[in-house]
Amino acid sequence: MADNAIALNDVRKAYGDTLVIPGLTAEIGGGQFTVILGPSGCGKSTLLNMIAGLERVTSGTIRFGSREVQELAPKDRGCAMVFQNYALYPHMTIRNNIGYALKVARVPKEERRKRVETAAESVGLRGLLDRRPSELSGGQRQRAAVARAIVREPSVLLFDEPLSNLDAKLRHGMRMELARLHDRIGATSVFVTHDQVEAMTLADKVMLLNNGEIVQYAAPSELYENPATTFVATFIGAPAMNLLGADGEGAGIRLQDGTLLTTTPFRGPVTLGIRPENIEIVPDGIPCRIVYSESLGSHSVIVAALADGQELRIATQLGRRMTPGETFSVRFMKGAIRLFDPASGKRH
Amino acid sequence: MVEDTRGIDRTAFVILVIGVAFILTPIVIAFLTASLSYEEFVSAGGIGLNVGSSFLDNMRRIVTETRLPGQLWNSIVISLLVAGIKCAFAFTATFALVFYESRWNWIIFSLTIATVMLPLELLVITTYQIVANVAMPLNWLLQITGLAWLSEQVVGAKHEYKLSLLDTYIGVALPIATSSTSVFIYRQFFLSLPKDLPRAAAMDGASPFRFMIDILLPLSWTPLVATFMFWFIGGWTQYLWPLVAAATPDAQPAVVGLAKLANTEPDRIPDVPLLMAGALFVSFIPVVLIGVMQRQIVRGLNLSEK
Nearest CA in chain B to A16: B103
Confidence (pLDDT) at A2: 64
Using CB atoms, pick whichever of A52, A91, A105 lies closest to residue B203: A52
Could you give the CA distance from residue B16 to residue A323 in angstroms, rounded to a whole number?
A: 69
Centroid of chain to Cα B163: 25
Per-residue pLDDT tens over the stretch A275-308 = 999 999 888 889 999 999 888 888 889 999 998 8
**How many CB atoms neighbour CB B68 within 10 A?**
21
Say what the pLDDT of residue B47 is: 78
Q: What pLDDT digit, counting tens, does each position of B117-147 carry?
A: 888 888 899 899 889 988 888 888 888 888 8
- Chain B: give the shortest CA distance to residue A84, in Å: 8
Q: Cα–Cα distance between A45 and A194 in angstroms, integer?
A: 10
Q: Which residues of B touch A144 (CB under 8 A)?
A: none
**What pLDDT is stored for residue A237 in this prediction?**
87
Start-to-end CA distance of chain B, whole Å, equals: 32
Per-residue confidence band for B305, with pLDDT thresholds at 50, 70 and 90: very low
Residues 6+ apart with CB under 8 A from B195: A85
Chain B residues whose beta carbon lies within 8 Å of the beta carbon of residue A86: 196
> Rounded distance, CA A246 to CA A253, Å?
7
Q: At what angle do helices B169-177 and B221-236 cross, to 10 degrees?
A: 120
Count of beta carbons in the 10 Å neighbourhood of residue B84: 16
Q: What is the DSSP letter of B123?
A: G
Per-residue pLDDT, A323: 80
- For the question of an ipTM over 0.90, the answer is no
Query: Measured between CB atoms, which of B197, B204, B305 is closest to A101?
Result: B204
In A, minimum Cα distance to B202 occurs at A74
The DSSP code sequence of A90-157 is TTS-HHHHHHHHHHHTT--HHHHHHHHHHHHHHTT-GGGTTS-GGGS-HHHHHHHHHHHHHTT--SEE
A164 in contact with chain B, both atoms CB, cutoff 8 A: no
- Quickly state the pLDDT bin for B113 (edges 50, 70, 90): confident
Task: Identify the residue among A104, A135, A151 best suited for mutation to test binding to B, counting B beta carbons within 10 A and taking the highest.
Answer: A104
Residue B144: exposure state from Cβ atoms within 10 A (0-12, 13-18, ≥19): exposed
Rounded to an integer, what distance in angstroms lies between the CA atom of residue A269 and that of residue A247? 4
Is the Cβ–Cβ distance between A272 and A261 less than 8 Å? Answer: yes
Alpha-carbon gap, residue B274 to B262, rounded angstroms: 9
B78 has a pLDDT exceeding 70? yes
Task: With CA atoms as reference, report the closest residue to B201 among B215, B191, B187, B190.
Answer: B215
A100 touches chain B (CB under 8 A): yes
3-class DSSP assignment, residue A294: strand
CA distance A94 to chain B (A): 14
Which ranges of chain A does DSSP label H, i.e. alpha helix?
A: 44-52, 74-77, 94-104, 109-122, 138-150, 168-185, 196-202, 220-225, 230-235
Cβ-Cβ contacts under 8 Å for B10 (sequence gap 6 or more): none
Residue B107 identity (one-letter amino acid): I
Residues of A in contact with B199 (CB under 8 A): 54, 81, 83, 87
Q: Where residue B304 falls among pLDDT bands split at 50, 70, 90?
A: very low
- How confident is residue B172, by pLDDT bands cut at 50, 70 and 90? very high
- Say whether residue A307 is in contact with chain B using an 8 A CB cutoff: no
pLDDT digits (tens, 9 = 90+) for B39-72: 888 888 777 788 888 899 999 999 998 899 999 9
Q: B264 pLDDT band (50/70/90 cuts)?
A: low
Identity of the residue numbered B299 = R
Question: Which pLDDT score, from 0 to 100, does residue A320 have?
Answer: 64
Distance CA B208, CA B97 (A): 13
d(CA A224, CA B80): 67
pLDDT of residue B302: 66
Paired with A216 in beta bridges are A208
For residue A74, the distance in angstroms to the closest alpha carbon of chain B comes to: 5
Q: A52 to chain B: which residues are within 8 Å by CB?
A: 203
Q: What average pLDDT does chain B have?
A: 87
- For residue A233, give every residue at least 6 positions away whose Cβ sits within 8 Å of its Cβ, in sequence order, or none: A227, A240, A241, A243, A273, A338, A340
Q: How far apart, in whole angstroms, are the C-alpha atoms of residue A195 and residue A235? A: 10
A192 interfacial to chain B (CB closer than 8 Å):
no
Q: For a pLDDT cut of 90, what percent of chain B falls above it?
A: 46
List A68's β-bridge partners, or say none.
Answer: A63
Instruction: Spell out the per-residue pLDDT of chain A, length 348, in tens.
Output: 567 899 999 999 998 889 999 999 999 999 999 999 999 889 999 999 999 999 999 999 999 999 999 999 998 998 999 999 889 999 999 999 999 999 999 999 999 999 999 999 989 898 899 999 999 998 899 999 999 999 988 999 999 999 988 888 889 989 999 999 999 888 999 999 999 999 999 999 999 999 999 999 999 999 999 999 999 999 998 889 999 999 998 888 998 888 888 888 899 999 999 999 999 988 888 999 999 988 888 888 999 999 888 999 999 887 666 788 889 899 999 889 999 999 999 998
Bridge-based pairing of strands A156-160 and A188-193 is parallel
Q: Which pLDDT band holds residue B4 (cuts at 50, 70, 90)?
A: low
